[in-house]
Amino acid sequence: MTTTIDFDIDGPAAPPRSNGELVFEEPWQSRAFGLVMSLHESGAFTWEEFRAELISAIAAWEEQETPSEEYSYYQCWVTALEQVTVHNELVTTDDLAGRARDLALRPAGHDHDHDHDHDHDHDH
């Protein structure tokens, strides 16, 4: 399987051309995409393994009688990534659930990017 990425980054193909559409709609989608690409390149799993999980995740969504939410390709993508990383023993289901719960407990505003002193009193 070819894993080389050999695109002509500075050449005539440089201008982005996605017919005005954003490639990723939300940051987590691009992270999930990057994770799969990185793990695949390092040989953590084959493309076929990932693709089989993606097909299962999409089929599971489509088989719901009353879908609970709007279809999201990247949501299926993340489910497939969870499956393939658990099956290859890179992480466990408990690791993932535990870490996600920890992340959910962070105080609101944790991801503000500015560097300020969190101990000072806000006067508003």
Q: Which of residues 94-113 bind another protein (CB under 8 A)?
A: 94-97, 99-101, 103-104
* 45 belongs to the binding site for another protein (CB under 8 A): no
- How many amino acids of this chain bind another protein (CB under 8 A)? 71
Closest distance of CB 1 from another protein, Å? 7
SS3 118: coil
* 35 belongs to the binding site for another protein (CB under 8 A): yes
Contact 44, 88 (CB under 8 A): yes
Closest distance of CB 43 from another protein, Å? 11
Question: Which long-range contacts does 46-53 make (Cβ < 8 Å, 24+ apart)?
Answer: 46/1, 47/1, 49/84, 49/87, 49/88, 50/80, 50/81, 50/84, 53/79, 53/80, 53/81, 53/83, 53/84
Binding residue (CB under 8 A) for another protein from 16, 110, 113, 114 = 16
Site for another protein in 56-85 (CB under 8 A): 56-60, 62, 71-75, 78-79, 81-83, 85
